[in-house]
Amino acid sequence: MLTRHPSGRPEHSDVIVVGAGVVGAACAYYASLSGLRVTVIDRGPVAGGTTGAGEGNLLVSDKEPGPELELALLSARLWRELATGPPTRNKARTVSRIESRFEYERKGGLVVASTEAEMTALRKFAASQKQAGVEAIEVPADGLATLEPHLAPGLAGGFHYPQDAQVQPALAAAHLLRAAADMGRLTLRLGEEVTAVPTGPGGEVRGVRTPRGDAKAPRVVNATGTWGGQLARLAGVELPVLPRRGFVLVTEPLPRVVRHKVYSADYVADVTSGSAGLQTSAVVEGTPAGPVLIGASRERVGFDRTLSTEALRRLAAQATRLFPALAEVRAIRTYAGFRPYLPDHLPAIGPDPRAPGLLHACGHEGAGIGLAPATGMLIAAMLTGREPPLLAAPFAPGRFAEGATTG
């Protein structure tokens, strides 16, 4: 949808969101819901970057108590609301709804331990999560088959996380943008790369520039994911976002061999690691369409998309150790994506004090799809001066400013 002045010139917006992935779409949706006019600009199609290469994980199970878990718990609630159809208002002030067309499935997660030592560590981790509001149910070794009949025998036990869920991420981004468009407040400009962020004499942003012309607005939201550092530099600031490559294996369509999101205990350590080297810890899950998705690998190799047979070999071996039946199943394709990594493993959400009017909503690493709704709601609150739904200080982009200290 392209909104224009009667003169034919593009209408000025209250805010420009750069990035049409799921985080940018959520920012646009909640800003529109708050009554703002929003322009979304992306150099490619909707969900053409990291979002389109994601599995769609909405996880609380892998997060230790702290700011990211609080963000994840809020997002889990918001995803449920979005899936059941939250009310929105269009120009005629009639109520429309986002239908559950993005394959939302609250399938739950199952984290398994191979040894008693791992099980002891899982119990300690789950106990701390429960105090923060996470549902974590211990499953003894002889109870695992009830949840996952095809799991390998001999495991020590695990924990079931009913709040874990999944969406089809590209569909989720598209429907969030459609809902914003239905409110009559969205201008969508695809296939336009932002080449500059014009600023005023005080460094305040005045919009963005693309080869097709300027888009003017007093606020710009950087929702460019892995490319967040590049967009920040166009505004004259540094944000240390780095790409962290990952691969996903996709099997042929199957009956529901895997009922939950299943992964081993060492996955949590990989998520929080800052290592640049190759790390793999299988996350195995079925999909409504039939294929089984097998992730997750992590390595910092820049934007190199070269296929890593070693990463795929490790993922396949780890997945078949968890589910021996997969050894006879064909992998029909694989795809790669880049997680937007920040050194402290927290996203940058909020205004940048070095460039008035610039807000960041990036750096979520592998959790961006899960954390998108809460991020969008936070950004909308900051844009409108409303009380944020949770403490935003831990995500403040100013923590990366020269001389900044962290508490």
Q: What are phi and psi of 39, to 5 degrees?
A: -110, 130
CATH pick for 15-98+168-241+345-400 out of 3.50.50.60, 1.10.10.10, 3.30.70.2860, 3.30.497.10: 3.50.50.60
At residue 93, the pLDDT reads: 39
At residue 346, the pLDDT reads: 97
Classify each residue of 162-184 as buried b or exposed e, where b means 16 or more C-beta atoms within 10 Å of its C-beta: bbbbbbbbbbbbbbbbbbbbbbe
Q: Give the pLDDT means over successive 10-residue stretches in the chain (407 positions).
A: 39 92 98 97 96 92 96 97 68 47 91 95 96 98 97 97 95 95 95 96 94 96 98 97 94 94 80 71 89 91 92 95 96 94 96 97 96 98 97 96 61
> Domain 242-340 carries which CATH code?
3.30.9.10
Q: How many residues does the chain have?
A: 407
Q: Can you spell out the DSSP letters for 235-285?
A: TT-----EEEEEEEEEEPP-SS---SEEEETHHHHHHH----S-EEEEEEE
Residue 309: partners with Cβ closer than 8 Å, 6 or more residues away: none
At residue 327, the pLDDT reads: 96
Report whether the peptide linkage leading into residue 269 is cis, meaning its omega lies within 30 degrees of zero: no
**327-334 LR contacts (CB < 8 Å, sep 24+):** 329/251, 329/252, 329/254, 329/292, 330/251, 330/252, 331/249, 331/250, 331/251, 331/252, 331/294, 332/250, 332/251, 332/252, 332/291, 333/250, 334/247, 334/248, 334/249, 334/250, 334/307
Going from N- to C-terminal start, the domains of the chain cover: 15-98+168-241+345-400, 109-162, 242-340
Residue 374: which of 146, 120, 160, 82 has the closest Cα? 82
Element (H, E) at 310: helix 309-322
What is the C-alpha separation between 91 and 368, in angstroms, rounded?
30
At residue 278, the pLDDT reads: 86
- 3-class SS of residue 25: helix
What is the C-alpha separation between 118 and 138, in angstroms, rounded?
13
Residue 55: partners with Cβ closer than 8 Å, 6 or more residues away: 166, 169, 248, 283, 285, 293, 295, 296
Residue with tokens 């940058």: 348
What is the C-alpha separation between 394 and 7, in angstroms, rounded?
44
Residue 224: which of 233, 215, 211 has the closest Cα? 233
